[in-house]
Chain A
Amino acid sequence: MKYRLTILFIFILFVPISLMLWFGQKSFINEQKLLQAENAKRGDAILEESHLNIDIFLREIKSEISTQLLKINWTNNSNFHENLLGQPLIKQVFITDNKGKLLFPLKDDESNPDGIEFVKRTKNVWLNKSFKTEVINKLSGINSVKNKLSNSMFYANQKGSRGNISKRLVDGFLTWYWEEGLNLLYWCENPKGYIVGAEINFAYLKARLIGRLPNRLIHPGTIKLIDSRSAVIYQWGDYEINEKANPLAKLRVQYPLDSWTLQYYTRSQESLGRLKKVYDLALNTNLLFLGLFILFVGGWIGFYLWRDIKIIENRMSFVTQVSHELRTPLTNIRLYSELLGRIESSNEKHKKYISVIVQESERLSRLIQNVLTFNKDKNKTKENLSIVSLDINDLIENIILQEEPYLIQLGFKVELNLTTESNAFADKDSIIQIIGNVISNAEKYAKEGKYIGISSSEEKGFILIDIVDYGPGIPSSLLTKVFSPFFRIHNNLSDGVAGTGIGLTISKELAILNGGDLICMNVPKGSRFRLKLKKYKEV
Chain B
Amino acid sequence: MKIYLMVCIYFTLFLVTYSDEKINTDKSVTLQVALSHGVLINGKKQKIYLKVSLIGIRKTIDAKRNPINLCIILDKSRSMIGAKLKQVKKSSRMILNLLDEDDIISFVTYDSRVITLIPATMGRDKGDLIKLIDGIKGHGSTALFAGVSKGLYEIEKNASTKYVNRIILLSDGMANVGSVSLKDMGDLGFAAAKNNISISTIGIGKGFNEELMSSLSANSDGSYGFAESPEQIDDLLKNEMKQLISVAGKRLKIKIECTQGVKPIKILDRIGTIRKDTITFSMNQIYNEQNKYILVELEVNNPIVIKGYSKLIDVQLNYILANSDKNSVLRAKAGISWTGIEEVKKRSINNNVMEKVVLSMAADQNRMAMLMFNEGNLEKTLENLQFTCGFLIRNNDSIQSTQIEKLEIITKQIQEDLNKNYSNRSKKAWKAYDNFNKTQNSLNQEYRYKQSASQQKIIIKKSSKKKKARTK
Contact = CB atoms under 8 A, between A and B. Distances in A.
Nearest to B193: A88
Given A78-B275, A206-B149, A211-B149, A86 B194 contact: yes
Contacts of B275: 78-79, 82, 111-112
Interface in A200-254: 201-204, 206-212, 215, 227, 231-236
Interface in A61-87: 78-79, 82, 85-87
Contact of B146 (A204, A210, A212): A210
Contacts of B192: 88
A203 B188 contact: yes
B188 A234 contact: no
Contacts of A203: 179, 183-188, 191
A325 interface: no
A204 B153 contact: no
B116 A201 contact: no
Given A111-B276, A203-B188, A206-B149, A234 B114 contact: yes
A95 B402 CA distance: 50
A215 B114 contact: yes
Interface residues of B, number: 38
Given A210-B153, A231-B179, A202 B187 contact: yes
A163 interface: no
Interface in A376-402: none
Nearest to A89: B191
A251 to B, nearest CB: 19
A207 B179 CA distance: 10
Given A88-B194, A203-B179, A231-B178, A208 B185 contact: no
B243 interface: no
A210 B112 contact: no
B187 A180 contact: no
A207 B188 contact: yes
Nearest to A211: B153
B191 A79 contact: no
Interface string B261-283: 00000000000011111101000
Contact of B145 (A78, A88, A207): A207
A114 B187 contact: no
B115 interface: yes
A208 B149 contact: yes
Interface string B164-181: 000000000000011111
B148 A207 contact: yes
Interface residues of A, number: 35
Contacts of B148: 207
B152 A211 contact: yes
Contacts of B76: none
A206 B149 CA distance: 8
Interface string B136-157: 0000000101101110111010
B255 to A, nearest CB: 10
B195 interface: yes
A244 B148 CA distance: 28
A91 interface: yes
A91 B146 CA distance: 21
Contacts of A201: 187, 190-191
A298 interface: no
B113 interface: yes
Nearest to B184: A203
A299 interface: no
Contacts of A114: 273
A181 B149 contact: no
Contacts of A209: 149
A179 interface: yes
B149 A210 contact: yes
B146 A78 contact: no
Contacts of A485: none
A234 B146 contact: yes
A365 B216 CA distance: 119
Contacts of B154: 211
Interface string B108-150: 0000111110000000000000000000000000010110111
A235 B116 CA distance: 13
A126 to B, nearest CB: 21
Given A88-B195, A89-B191, A233 B178 contact: yes
A211 B183 contact: no
Contacts of A235: 112-113, 143, 146
Contacts of B191: 88-89, 201, 203-204, 207
Contacts of B280: 82
Contacts, number: 106
A210 B114 CA distance: 10
A113 interface: yes
B274 A113 contact: yes
Given A79-B275, A179-B183, A203-B188, A233 B146 contact: yes
B188 A204 contact: yes
Contacts of B114: 210, 215, 234, 236
Q: Which of B184, B185, B195 has the most CB of A within 10 A?
A: B184
A227 B177 CA distance: 12
A233 B100 CA distance: 35
A206 B145 CA distance: 9
A204 B187 contact: yes
Contacts of A212: 153
Nearest to B152: A207
B218 to A, nearest CB: 15
A207 B149 contact: yes
A211 B156 contact: yes
B116 A234 contact: no
Given A79-B278, A180-B181, A203-B185, A210 B150 contact: yes
A234 B274 contact: no
B250 to A, nearest CB: 15
Q: Which of A79, A203, A231, A233 has the most CB of B within 10 A?
A: A203
A87 B194 contact: yes
A208 B112 CA distance: 18
Nearest to B116: A215
A272 to B, nearest CB: 24
Contacts of B149: 206-211, 234
Contacts of A206: 145, 149, 179, 184
Nearest to A205: B191
Nearest to B182: A180
A208 B181 contact: no
Contacts of B153: 207-208, 210-212
Nearest to A210: B149
A179 B181 CA distance: 11
Contacts of B115: 215
Nearest to A114: B273
Contacts of A79: 275-276, 278
B150 A211 contact: yes
A252 B369 CA distance: 44
Interface in A83-103: 85-89, 91
A185 to B, nearest CB: 15
Contacts of A87: 194
Interface in B75-120: 112-116
A79 B156 CA distance: 27
Nearest to A85: B273
A236 B186 CA distance: 25
Q: Which of B113, B150, B185 has the most CB of A within 10 A?
A: B113
Nearest to A234: B146
B190 to A, nearest CB: 7
Contacts of A236: 113-114
A261 to B, nearest CB: 14
A209 B149 CA distance: 8
B272 to A, nearest CB: 10
Interface in B190-247: 190-192, 194-195
A210 B146 CA distance: 6
Interface string A13-53: 00000000000000000000000000000000000000000
5 contacts: A202-B187, A203-B186, A206-B184, A215-B150, A233-B179
Given A88-B191, A212-B153, 4 more contacts: A201-B190, A204-B188, A207-B152, A233-B146
